[in-house]
Structure formats: structure tokens, C-alpha cells
Structure 1
Amino acid sequence: MVAIPVFLRIWKPSRIFRFETGETLADTIVEKATYTAPQILRAWSPFIILTAFVAVWSIKPFKALFAAGGPLDWTVLVIRFPGLHNLVLKMAPIVPSPTPYAAIFKVDFVSSVGTAILLAGVMSVLFLKMRPKDAVATFTDTLRELKTPIYAIGMVLAFAFLANYSGLSTTLALVLAMTKGAFTFFAPLLGWLGVFLTGSDTSSNALFGGLQAATGRQIGVSGELLVAANTVGGAVGKMISPQSIAVASAAVGLVGQEGALLQFTLKCSIVLAILVGLMTTALVFMGVGT
């Protein structure tokens, strides 16, 4: 956020796209408005407040307050799903020995980053001196605009859990692992697939990170390199994640156009995933991570 304004003081686009008028030559747009330092600070304040809250919520001492045995662990609701918790076993080669698969749903009322974002919103309302009526109206309009993306995200997460507990995700991963030496090319594609299923690079690493490391040991390649490839592959898969597309469409007023956006980004994502696979294979060929 800091780099972009500095960059735009040096470089100017030749054309500017606006939703109302379409693409326009930048030279035809004359904007001479100037703003005082307090006005600029006021405009940036929601982002500054949000960054501060998320930073506090992310530090280890704060997280430790809500960990098991911490003074605020009572604010975390833990639900162990009956009929599923520890009744599904993870088997070799995913894990060395049969391991129960926990099915725990945690509701972090305070420690969730979502709570930090909500509190940052409330603080921004107070700092900007918005009228309560306007703040509630803005919040209601936002919920109305995001109702479809919220539903889509919930359904995709539900599918991700189903794919995990049914063994679908790991089965797909094992099929790719059977490629032996060629696995270095397919390793990023696992991360790409994981982010498409879960919407999160972190979740993708949790899903396939152990398998990447284990497969690396079997084929004589550094597990760290393959886990890194999983992460980078997940990053280029973010643009085709249904959750990301749903949120992006809602943010720019394109709700209902998610399919067209996916069709456009899919080609770019596949090309980038292939490039990452080729780069990973080239690194292994040059002796890096072996």
C-alpha cells in the first residue's frame, strides 16, 4: 500500500479504465485536486487501524492468551463432531502408521482474525465520526452485496472438509505421487489443486505438505523444496479459487459473473502453474534440494 502511491508518483498509465466510461486516454483526464495531510490521514485511517488490529491478533503473546490452558481459553468453543471425530484413520503412505483424523470445529469468538476486522471497522466508524445510522446502513448494504459470496465460500469450505475426510484429496495426491521422478513437476500442481479445493494456501500446505515431504524422501528430493513448490503452486492457484473469485466479484460489483472471471483467470493460472513445475524440475536437475 505504501509502495503503490510512491510508484504512481513516478509512473503514469497511458490509459485509465473506469466502470462508468470504459477505457480513456489518461491525457484527457485532468485531476488537479489537492488534499491536506489531515484529509489524507483520514482517508487512510481505516487501513491503518485494520493493519494495527490484525498485527496485534497475529503476535504469539496474544495468541497464547487463547491457547489451551491460557487465561482466555474459555472464549474458544470446541466442538468434537460425534460420529466422525477420531473415527477416520489416516493410513500409509500419508502417515507412517494409522492415525485417527480429528474432526474438531473451533469457534474463536475473540481470537479469530475476523473479530479483529470487526473491531477495526467499529474503530474506523468512531474515528471517522460516522453517524450510527450511516454505519448500520453501510454494514447492511455490505452484507446484502456479499450474501452470495458468503454462501459460496461456506459451500466450498464444506466441500473441502468432505474431500479431506472422504480421502478424495489424498487419493488425488497419491495418483500424482506415482509419477516418481516426474513428481517434481507435479508437486506445485498439488498446491494449486489444494488451494482450488480449500481456498487457502495455508490449508493446502496442511493438506499436502506432509505428503510432499514424504514423497521427496522416497524419490531422493528435498522435502523442503517440494513443500516450497506446494506453496508457490498454491499462490498461483489463488486466482481460480472459488472463494477468491466470489469475494473479488462482490468487491467490484460483478456478482453473478464468477463463471466468466474463472474462465479468464483459469488460463493464466494453468500457465503459471506449469512454469512453476518446470522451474522446480530445473532446480532439481541442477542439484538444488537433492
Structure 2
Amino acid sequence: MLSLLASAGDAPIQWAELGLKPGIDLGFFTLRYYSLAYLGGIVLGYWHLTRMIKAPGAPMAARHAEDLFFYCTLGIILGGRLGYAMFYDPSLFTSFDGDGFVSWGLLRLWDGGMSFHGGLMGVLVAIAWVSRSGGLSFLRVCDYIAVNVPFGMFFGRMANFINGELWGRPTDVPWAMVFPTDPLQVGRHPSQLYEAALEGAILIVILLLLFWKTRARYRPGLLVGVFTAGIALGRFTVEFFRQPDAQLTEFARDTGLSMGQWLTIPLILLGIFVTVRALMKPPIGKTTVPPPEPEPA
């Protein structure tokens, strides 16, 4: 990448020259990096969650972490796919022209198309179910799950880049890239890498430091508030560089913002509200001792 950038000069980088492939060819099956990204993010998140609940102040036990691993996985897959179909491509509900064993477009996850907002809703439903059935604090469980979500976001966006999909708007910046699937074949922002940084790497560092180096875990809502505001702000920013989905280009032009940005604005406001609310309340485990009453005269 660095050598290509150095030798590109005024010409955009050719993505095809990076030697990337969408998956690992096993002969009888292609293991796609998109699937590995979801698997890697979920497994790493679960592993880190098991480390988190061993630290003081954990709101759940190991058995609850196992339940969350199962139900959150379902929530990510089902919510992410249904959200993408609802918000971005409703034709998937009625498309049955796919090749291979599965023809229904809605079930063809390997073709790409997952919505962060849909996946978020699916995870929230999963957390609510486990919290209610286990008698746990919903907000505190959300705090612990939020710390681990950026792992999957980082891997997912890197997989988008490796697949050469979801590229950005035309640009002439030195790191502009030409993607093979682009019908215009012009230099574009590698917006997948921007998203991997803003929605993944930076949030990973921030949330890990907050959890392990501060007492943020004792302020219910603080971690999930920072996560929500941070990832929403990252997505809102990246949308200025990302090419809108083909079927929503006119929508973005007419409204001034992309569908992703409109869906993100409520999350930014919600994240800020939850964060401020958490900071205004005393941390759990500490009680405020009232001042002694004055002695009678």
C-alpha cells in the first residue's frame, strides 16, 4: 500500500493492484472475509467480555455472558440484514433471482448488505431479553456490551475494503483509489478505511481506556453513551466521503443528507443525553452522607 502510494504520483491507486481477494478459496468453498469479519468480531468480543466480568463491579455472571453471546449473535445477523432490507434495499424482500441453492435475496448474506442500525436494534432486543430473564440491569449490561462492539465494526469495515465494496465519492486526494466495480473508474475515497478507523480503531482505544483505566464502569450508562455518540458521529462524518447506495442517491441529493446520516442523528443526541445523565449521577457503590444536623442551642 505504501509503495503504491509513493509511486502513484498524480494517478489514483488501482485497488486491483493491491492483490486483495474477497475470500480464501478452499476448492469446494470460498471462505469470505466478510463472514470471517463477523465471526472474528463476535468471538473477540465474547472473549473480552469474559475478561471484563472477572473485574470488580461486573453486573453479570459467566452464564449470562454465554447467553448474551448466543442471542447477540442472532440479533446482529437478523437485525442487520432486516435493517438493510428495510432502510436501504426493500427489493431484497421480493428478489428470488439469486444463483445457487439459496435464491431469496434476503437470505443471501454472502452477497453483502448489513445495516449497523438494524444490527444495533437486534442487539438491544437480545440484551433486553437476557437482562429480563436473568434479573440484570439493562443499562449496565449495555455498558459492557458496548465496549466490545467496535471490534466487529473494525473487522467488518476492513472486510468491505478487501471486498472492494462500499467505496467513497470521487476525489483527487493522493490516496484516491479506483475500484473494479466502479462503472465510472475514477479515483474515490477509500471510505471503508475511514470507517474502520472512526467506528472501530479509535472507539476501541477510547472504550478500553475508559473501562480498564477509569471507574467508568461504576457510572451506569457512561460507556454505552460514549459508544453511541462516538460511533454515530463517526458514521455521520464518514457519510460525507462515502458514495450513497445507488438506490438512495436521489434521496441524498433531495434531502441534503444520506439515509445513514438521517438515521444517525437521533443516535448522536441519544448518546450525548445518556452520557451527560450518567456523569450527573453519583457512581454506584458510593452513598452520599448527609451533613450532621447542628447542635440545638
> Which has more radius of gyration?
1
| Higher helix fraction (1 or 2) | 1
| Higher strand fraction (1 or 2) | 1
TM-score with structure 1 length normalisation? 0.31
TM-score with structure 2 length normalisation? 0.31
Q: Pick 1 or 2: higher relative contact order, CA cutoff 8 A, min separation 6.
A: 2
